[in-house]
Structure formats: C-alpha cells, structure tokens
Chains A and B, each alone.
Chain A
Amino acid sequence: MNSDRAERIYRRLLVLLPATLRQEARDELLEVFVEAHTRATARGRAAVVRFWLLTFADIAVTSVAERQSQRRRRDEYGHPRPLSRSLTMRLTRSISNGVSDFRLAVRRLGKAPGWTLISSGTLAMGLAASVLATVLVRDVLLRPLPFPRSDRLVRILEVSANGGRWWPSFPNAADWRERARMFEGVGIADVPRVVPVTLDGRAVRVPVSRAAAGLFDTLGVRPVAGRLFADRESRPGGDPVALVSERFWRRDLASRPPGESTLGIGQEQFSVVGVLPASFRFLGDGGAWSDADVWTPLERDTNLGSRTTHGYHVVARLRDGMSLDQARVEMNHLVQMIKAGHGQPTQADTALLTPLQDVVIRSAREPLTWLIYAAGAVLFVSCLNLAAAILARGLNRGRELSVRLALGASRAIIARHLLVEAAALSLPGALLGTLTAGLALRIVRTSGAGMLPRVDEAALDGSAAALALGLAAVTTVLAGGIPALVLSRPALMARLRAHQATGPREHRRLWTGFVVAQVALTVLLLTGTGLLIRSFAAALAVDLGYNPRNVLAVDVALPESAYAEGSRRLSFYDSALDRLRSSPGIRSAGLTSVLPHVTSMHTSYTRRDAPDATGVLAGYRLVDTGYFETIGIPRGPGADRLVERGAAAVDRMLLDTLWGGDGALGDRVLNGFSNEPLTVTGIVGSVREWHQSSDGIGAVYVDFHRRPDRTQAMHFVVGHQGDRGAAVESVRQAIAAVDPMVPVTIEPLDMRVAESLGGRRLVLLLASGFGIAALLLASAGVYALVSFMVTRQLRESAIRLALGAGPSALRRRILVQGLVPAAAGAGLGLAMAVPAGRAMAAQLFQVQASDPAVLASAGAAVIAAAALASLMPARRAARVDPAAALRAE
C-alpha cells in the first residue's frame, strides 16, 4: 500500500474523532502517521499489519477518551452543567437559563421585525388550518350527540326482501314501540315541513314537525320551560298543544311563559305548553340534523298512513346490557313476527339498526377526514418553511455562532439558543393561529350552516387553544431542532467561516430538501383541491332534468284565518298565476307543492291491476301544467291532460321502474298513503332531485285543483327574462294585487340547487383556502431559498459580472437555481397525488383520481409560483454593483 493511499484512509478515520480535536490536531497527526507508516513499511509486512491494528485501536481509544475528557472539562469549568446535581438546582438553573435565553431571543427577533412577522405568520397559517380542522372533526364527528347516554340511541329503518331500505311506516313503528323488549323506548317523528304559522296576527314560515308519544322520553330531552306532551294529548282528538324551540320562543314569542301563547297551524290553534332546549336537534329532511321550531303531537292525526307509507324517523334507546348485535337479532325476529301477525302488505322484512350518531355525521365523515389530512399538509409545509427560515438566519449568523463555540459554548447551548428562538417565534404564531382559526370557524359556522351537520355546535375553546400551543411546541421542536442540530456542528461552523461566500454544501442540500418537500406537499394539496373543484363543477353541470336558470322560487304563506276553505286557496292560486303570467318581464309561471331539491315524504306506489304488485317509492307533487314549462321539464305524451279528474302524470324514472319503460298510459296506480287510485294520462321527464350525485327518485304529478285540502303551503315558480331585480318586483306586485296580506319569500331557484350540494361545497371552500395557503407558503419557501443563495453568491455574481457575464445570463442562472428544486418537488408531489386522489374517491363525482387536467394545472401552478418567487432575487443579483460587492467582502 503506498503512503498516499494510507494517508487517505487515515484522513477518513479521523472523522471519528471529536471535531475540536480533529481540527487542532489534524496536521500533526497526519505527519506522525505518514512517517510511522513509512517506517513500518520498511520493516516488512508483519510490521504494517501491526501498525494498522494499532492505528485503528488508537483512533477508537482517542475518540472515546477525548470525548470523556471534554465532558469532564466542561463539568470542571462549569459551563452548562450546574454546580450542584440536585434536581431542583438543575431545574431552577435551566429555567432561569431558558428565561434569559428567551429574553435574548425576543430582543434578537425584535431587530428583524419583517422576518419575525413572516415566520410567525407562516406558522400561524399552518396552525390555524390544523386547529380549524381538528375542532370541526372533534365537534362534528367525535363529540357525542347532545342527549344523555347518546351512544345507546339507534336509528331504525325497514329493510325489504330485495334489500331496499325504507323509512319506517307509522303502523310498523308503533308496533315496535309497543312490543320491542330490547329498547327502553322508541321515538317516532315525521319530517319537518316549512308551513305558515300564525301568531299575534302575523304569519311566519317555520319548520314544523310532529312527535309521537315517547319521542322526547326516549331521547332524554327535558323542556327548559313548561312541560312535554301529556299522554292524553297524544291521541286522536287530544287538545291542540305545541312545543317550541328555544330560538323560536325568544325570537317570535318574546320569551313569554308557556301557556300564554297560541300558534295557528292549519285550521287549529295550538297552545304552547313547553320550550325545548337550544341544543335539541333531530333528524330532518334526508336524514339531515335539523331543528324544527314547532312540535305538535303526531297521534292527534287519525291518518298516519298504511304500512307501505314510508316517511317517519324512528329512533330507539337500547335497554341497559343490550348490545347492538343482540338488538339487531331480536329486532329482526320481532319484525318477522309482526309481519306474520297482521298479514298486510309491508316492505318491512327485516330492520336496520344504526347508531344515531353515525346517521347524523354520515355526510360529514368523508369530507372532514379529507380536511384533516389537508390541514396536516399545510402545517407540515409551514413547519418546513419555518425550519428553512431559521436555518437561513443561522447561516447568516455563522460568524456569531462560531465565536460562541470558540468561547467554549457547547453544542447543547447553541442548540438551546436556536430552539428557544424557534419557541419565541411559535408562541405569537400559536396565538395568531388560534385567532385566525376562531375567525375562520365563525365564517364556516355562518356560511356552512346546512352544509355540514352539527357545524353550529363547533366552537373554539380552551382545549383547542391548548392544541394550538401543543402543535406549536411540536413545530418548534421540528422546525427549530433540525437547524439547531445542523448549525451547532462545530466542524460545519468552521467551514462556514472558511467558505463564507457560498456556505457549506450540505446546508444548501438540506435546504433544497426542505423546498422540494414543501413544493411536493403543495402539489398534493392543490391536486386534491383541483379534484374537488372539478367534481363540484361536474355536479353542477349534471343534467338536472330541468333548468333552474332565470327561475324564481316564490314561497307564499296563506294566512289561515282568511284562507280556511280549500276553494278560497284555489282561487287565490289561480288568480295569482293569471296575474303573474301577464306581468312584465315574466316568461311563464307555475305552481308546485314541492320544489326540486326539497325532499318530502315519499310514498310507495303500486300498479293497481298488476298481480302481486310490489311498491315503488315515489314523490307526490301537486302542480299545475305551467310548472313543467317554467322550469323546463320535458313534457311527453299527454302531459297536458293533467287537469282531468283522477289523472296523474308519472315521470320517466317511475315509468322505468314500475312499467319497465312502456305501457303506463291508461294504467292505474295506487297511492300507498291515501289509497287514492290514479289513472296515468301523461309522461314527463324526470328530475334529479335530492343530491345531484345520488340517483333520483320517481315522481307522480297531480293537478293541484284535485287536492284543495293539501294546498296550504305551495310554491310558485316564475320564469323571467332579463333583470332579476325587476322580475322580483313584478312578482311582489302581482301577488300583492291579489292579496296584499300574503307574505312572500322570493329566492332564485339555482341558489336552492347550489345549497343542496351542501357539505361538498364547504369542503371545497376550505380546501381551496388550504391550497392557496400552501401555495403561498411554498412560494415563500422558494423565494427565501433563492434570495438566500443570491446573498451568499454576491461575490461570485460580482466576479461573473466583472468578467463580462451579461445580467440576463446571471438572471437565468439564479432562476434555474429556484426552478430545479421546485420542479423536483412538483414531480414528487404529482407522483404521490395519484394514490392520494384514489383515497379521496368518495368525495369525487364524475372525475378520475388521476385527472390529467388537474395534475397538469397543479404542477403548473407551483412552477409558476416558484418562477415568480425566483424572479425578484434574480433581478437583484443581476443588478449588483461588482465593485461594491467585492469591496464588501
């Protein structure tokens, strides 16, 4: 082995020594080694082997011994170790050290207010996103429903032999209430309907629901004032009484004691007997978590439908010691027994028991899970950003740090300084983040009501603030720890001193790694947001079966006093329709009992003359023929013959399911609720109702003149041309011309449609916010990287300029330095985006997880942001004055 090679090996071995020793002794060690190696070689092979063995042992022994004596020296000269080793002494010592460190850090940060503000803001953004997402998850998904022992509550559905799930019918539910031993109680309620309620001589439209006996006991709800329904009130002919929500009580009843108010609903006056607590919510339309303002006893009504009339919410409380599985088995037995007992047609073959909480949060689970991942990504990006910022600052302070090291500060002390500085940054960051999250939560609560169940229950509290602090602490350790470890390496410090101009390569590599990771995460987030936007657009673009553009939905509340008789109501609607049709700016007008996207009770329909007919669920709509024209539902053969007695139009969906697509005209169907036989005289197009992304449900249309008893609450639809404001005014005048006392609510129909996109829209909103935040953070990261490198390379740039390099070449060089890590990050992010997209497939509608347009635009967005962020430092580098830069060095 020649001596050059031996020397190279020995140089490598020296890395094992403590850095301080290596620096001071390297030359001397090498010269002794080389000489010794030469002499050993001269003595022969055995001597060389012995020599190498000795060398290895020597390095190991020296390394250990030196570290030990360094530690001993520190102990003796009293640097970081306290004089006494007693725990309390050490504790007070380190606290007072920490306090003075903190003061120092604050003073130092105060000297760079811009940097401090940006770094704190960066962290605040990440913390705000995380706190917001966590609070939403906690309060919407995880917090128990506001009922005592709410984990014992289950929702019950009927399951038919073919696996179809049905809201229970009243007779079945009443049987369960009476006979189910595995439940402590069974609560039955119908779906809240928005109807006119008169009080103190005025009419308001509020959601009104009906509760069967035992509902409130089952749920464990106690009134905040007054009492619940008495048994004698929950039967046909019982006294008309009502419970009101606390909100309604305060707002509309001026908090008068129960018993002093009466509410006019339909033709009856209900006396208010109690007030339900503000936290009380129950299942509403489509299983949404809603709050009816007025409750009346359900069983006062004598016709609650047959066993095939589905439209009730049933909730039961499991008896103590009864497991859900056990209850499921027993419930299925019971359903079978009941079916065998009555012998009537029913869809209830078995029953489905689901914990109530799962039902309520069903629509929120996917979006919120997605949201918390997104928030984590934002936090991680901001953490990386902060780490890079601290590292940059540390590198710029290289001289100061190396002086400290030279004066005997240990790595631990330097690392502690850096950590404390990170903590001083993250404390205001945590505060700012919590405040931002609080603000965002307020926006989400107001704009998200109705989009996400229970969103109004979400609140920022002490534990959310604690979470922000905890996250800030973790961020501090992560974001401050990495630079602290790197910067406190004495060897690197020394090299930093030596190569002040460019900075050690490993720092730049670490930093570039930060930028790559940031950009990758941002791309991931942007792809997710992009997919949501695309699928939202697809949901909006889906063929609804009608056209909500330029159509106004007009709700009217007919005062019960003046419109008690059905004939009066019919004449009001007829003359209002005439007036509307002749009003200026109005294209057409129609009337319906149910607007699209407002769910209502569905009833099962059977073909009357078909043998062993099975029921099919469909909606029942009272309309006039102008309705189809106004909202653009295609009219098939015979749609205009609706006005005939006993006539009905069915939509194509029902035509397909009940008649297999043909032969409906002239056939007769039976309404499972009223047993009303209807002759199909016309076919109309189907409307995609409920949620756009779900399959629609069929509908039966009957002329509203046929059922005057069910026309208390109707909606006009008014198609207009040109200006919407003018059309609204025309509508008001037209209705006021018929009866000025009728209150009117006017809303564009497409707004109603947008509302039905609910949770997805909220997630889209938040995800866009998170995506933009991440994009901002990542470009800030790229900007910081490039401008740092520019500062570091001032001298080099100056030399290049002095040697005749053009400013544009220099600019290009800098741009490339920013764009290369960005491109690498974008590639990495895109590679991760495809599997991540697949994971959120449940949130997507008609969009592929690997949608090329989304992937391309996410990549392009970050590259563009990186280019923009690199541009400014690049221009600065090109403008540098060579003479001044070289002199400064």
Chain B
Amino acid sequence: MQNRTKRPAVGAVLPHVPLRPVAFAVLASLADGSRPGIDVLEEVNTTMPGRPLLGPGTLYRLMRELRQTGLITRTGRGATRADGSRDERQAFHALTPLGVAVLRAEVARLRRTIELAGPALSTPER
C-alpha cells in the first residue's frame, strides 16, 4: 500500500510520535488492511491489556481524531476485509500512507525503547 504513493517526509511523521497506547492499538489493528469499526473495537479490546476500554463512543472520537490528523481514512461501505470476507453494512477504515509511516515510526521507537531497556530488565533484582 505504501508503494502506491510517495513516502511521507520525516518532518510530517515526527509530530505524531509517540502515539498514545489506544491510538497505537487502533492503528495496529488496521495494519493489515481496512476493517469495519466493530472489528477495530474487538481487536483493540482484546489486544489492550486489562479490561475492555473502548466503547463505540470513545472509539468514534478516537478515530475521528486520527482521521482529522490524517492517519486513517474511511474507505466507504461494503469493502472487502483483508481475509476476503465482505461486509455490506459497515463503514470501513484504513490507514493512510501517513498513518502507516507513523505506525512504523512508533513500532521502531518502541523496539528501540525495549532494546535500551533490555539490559536493565534482564538484571536480577537486588
């Protein structure tokens, strides 16, 4: 998908990083293709640690924010899921090139963070 358009400039990506955990979870749930809102909800609620956090309203506001900052977009109704199944009723959401870039940057940041924290974590306590 990112091959279709020009890769966003680093300057456009950086202001969005680091992502809030919920925003990260939403973007991650869309990483492998467009999905309807309900799937995003389920995915986030199952992948996020702890109790379910997202309801429809919170999710809507979050996705609206991500849409307004240009990280995701609506792809319209009746789109095909990544697994090939179609859903005629639901509105589908997908990452924009910027969203993909931001997700990548965030993943990279997290990875580096873990690498940096690795030795500390492996040190036995006391």
Stretch from B12-20, B22-30, B54-62 forming part of the interface with A: B54-62
A330 within 8 A of partner (CB): no
Least CB distance from B62 to A in Å reads 10
Query: Quick check: is A32 within 8 A (CB to CB) of the other chain?
Result: yes
Q: Tell me, in angstroms, the Cα distance from A405 to B41 when the chains sit together.
A: 32
Contact indicator A65/B42 (Cβ below 8 Å): no
Cβ contacts B42-77/A at 8 Å (1 or 0 each): 100000000010111111110010000000000000
A58 partner residues in chain B, CB cutoff 8 A: 54-58
CB distance from B34 to the nearest CB of A (A): 15
In this complex, the member of B56, B58, B64 whose beta carbon has the largest number of chain A beta carbons within 10 angstroms is B56
CB distance from A259 to the nearest CB of B (A): 96
Complex interface: chain B residues within 8 A of A36 (CB): 38, 41-42, 56
Are B41 and A29 in touch, CB under 8 angstroms? no
Instruction: Label chain B's interface by main secondary structure.
Output: helix
Distance, CA A66 to CA B60, complexed state (A): 11
Please determine whether A57 and B61 come into contact, CB atoms closer than 8 angstroms: no
Residues in chain A near residue B59, CB distance under 8 A: 32
Query: Cα distance A69–B60 when bound, in Å?
Result: 14
- With contact pairs A39-B38, A39-B42, A50-B52 given, residues A31 and B58 touching in the complex (Cβ less than 8 Å): no
A65 to B52 alpha-carbon distance, docked (Å): 18
In the complex formed, the residue of A with least CB distance to B38 is: A35
Is there contact, CB below 8 Å, between B55 and A28?
no
Which B residues lie within 8 Å of A69 (CB)?
A: 61
Q: Which of B42, B61, B64, B89 contacts A31 (CB 8 A)?
A: B89
Instruction: Choose among B56, B58, B61 the residue that contacts A33 (Cβ–Cβ < 8 A).
Output: B56
The distance in angstroms between the C-alpha atoms of A17 and B36, with both chains bound, is: 23
A15 at the interface (CB under 8 A from B): no
- The answer for the CA separation of A291 and B54 in the assembled complex, in Å, is 87
Asked if A32 and B41 make an inter-chain contact with CB atoms under 8 angstroms apart, the answer reads: yes
Whether the Cβ atoms of A32 and B52 lie closer than 8 Å is no
CA distance A61 to B106 in the complex (A): 27
Q: Smallest CB–CB gap between A706 and chain B, Å?
A: 106
| Given A31-B90, A31-B91, A35-B90, A59-B57 contact (CB < 8 Å) | yes
Please state if B37 and A32 are interface contacts (CB–CB under 8 Å). Answer: yes
| Residues of chain A from 145 to 169 with CB closer than 8 A to chain B in the complex | none
Chain B contacts of A50 at CB under 8 A?
A: 52
Closest residue of chain B to A59 (Cβ to Cβ) is B57
Q: Is the CB of A62 within 8 A of B58?
A: yes
**1/0 per residue A43-59: CB within 8 Å of B?**
00000001000110111
Evaluate contact between A29 and B60: CB separation under 8 angstroms.
Answer: yes
C-beta contact mask, A207-244 vs B, less than 8 Å → 1, else 0?
A: 00000000000000000000000000000000000000
List residues of chain B with CB within 8 A of the CB of A39.
Answer: 38, 42
Complex Cα spacing A316 to B59, Å: 86
Q: How far in angstroms is the closest Cβ of chain A from B117? A: 32
Whether A54 contacts B37 by the Cβ 8 Å rule is no
**Bound form: Cα–Cα A156–B38 in Å:** 92
Q: In the assembled complex, which residues on chain A have CB atoms less than 8 Å from the CB atom of B36?
A: 31, 35
Instruction: State the CA gap A30–B54 with chains docked (Å).
Output: 15
Contact A54 B55 (CB under 8 A): yes
- Chain A nearest CB: distance from B51 CB in Å? 9
Which residues of chain A in 681-707 are interfacial with respect to chain B, using CB atoms and an 8 Å cutoff? none
What separation, in Å, do the CA atoms of A63 and B61 have in the docked complex? 10
A25 within 8 A of B: yes
Expressed in whole angstroms, the Cα–Cα distance for A29 and B58 within the complex equals 10
Please determine whether A28 and B57 come into contact, CB atoms closer than 8 angstroms.
no
B-side contacts of A61, CB under 8 Å: 55, 57-58
Cα separation A29 to B61 with both chains bound (whole Å)? 10
Q: State whether B57 touches A29 (Cβ < 8 A).
A: yes
Chain A residues whose CB sits within 8 angstroms of the CB of B89 once the complex forms? 31
Give chain B residues whose Cβ lies under 8 Å from the Cβ of A59.
55, 57
Which residues 52-80 in A have Cβ within 8 Å of B in the complex? 54-55, 57-59, 61-63, 65-66, 69
Contact A17 B91 (CB under 8 A): no
B69-107 CB contact bits vs A (8 Å, 1 = yes)?
A: 000000000000000000001110000000000000000
Contacts of B42 in A (CB 8 A): 36, 39
Known: A62-B61, A65-B61, A66-B61. A31 touches B55 (CB 8 A): no
Query: How far does the Cβ of A63 sit from chain B's closest Cβ, in whole Å?
Result: 8
Distance in Å from the Cβ of B52 to the closest Cβ of chain A?
Answer: 6
CA distance A32 to B42 in the complex (A): 10
B56 to chain A: which residues have CB within 8 Å?
Answer: 29, 32-33, 36, 55, 58
Residues of chain A within 8 A (CB-CB) of B58 are 58, 61-62, 65
Question: Which of chain B's residues have a CB closer than 8 A to the CB of A35?
Answer: 36, 38, 90
Q: Contacts A32-B38, A58-B55, A59-B55; is A25 near B90 (CB within 8 Å)?
A: no
Name the residue of chain A whose CB is nearest to the CB of B45: A54
Contacts of A31 in B (CB 8 A): 36-38, 89-91
> In the complex the two chains form, what is the Cα distance from A338 to B113 in whole Å?
112
Complex Cα distance A35/B40, Å?
Answer: 12
A63: nearest chain-B partner, CB-CB: B57
What residues on B are CB-neighbors of A28 within 8 Å?
37, 60, 91
Instruction: Fill in one digit per residue for A9-38: 1 if any B CB lies within 8 Å of its CB, else 0.
Output: 000000001000100010011011101100
**Which one of B55, B61, B91 has the greatest number of beta carbons of chain A within 10 Å?**
B55
A623 CB, nearest partner CB in chain B, Å: 97
B58 to chain A, nearest CB (A): 5
> Which residues from B are CB-within-8-Å of A54?
52, 55
Q: A713 CA to B52 CA in the complex, in Å? A: 107
Does A62 lie within 8 Å of B38, measured CB to CB?
A: no
Among B41, B60, B90, chain A packs the most CB atoms within 10 A around the CB of B60
What separation, in Å, do the CA atoms of A50 and B51 have in the docked complex?
10
In whole Å, how far is A24's beta carbon from the nearest beta carbon of chain B?
8
Docked pose: A57 CA to B56 CA in angstroms: 11
Q: Chain A's nearest CB lies how many Å from the CB of B55? A: 2
CB distance from B47 to the nearest CB of A (A): 16
The answer to whether B60 and A25 touch across the interface, beta carbons within 8 angstroms, is yes
| Given A29-B56, A31-B36, A33-B56, 4 new contacts (CB under 8 A) | A28-B60, A32-B37, A32-B56, A63-B57
Q: Can you spell out 16 A-B residue pairs with CB atoms less than 8 angstroms apart?
A: A17-B57, A21-B61, A28-B37, A31-B36, A31-B37, A31-B38, A31-B90, A31-B91, A32-B38, A33-B56, A35-B38, A58-B54, A58-B58, A62-B55, A62-B58, A65-B58
| Residues in chain A within 8 A of chain B (CB atoms) | 17, 21, 25, 28-29, 31-33, 35-36, 39, 50, 54-55, 57-59, 61-63, 65-66, 69
7 tightest A-B CB contacts, nearest first? A58-B55, A62-B57, A35-B38, A32-B56, A32-B37, A58-B57, A29-B56
* Residue ranges of B at the interface with A (Cβ–Cβ < 8 Å): 36-38, 41-42, 52, 54-61, 64, 89-91
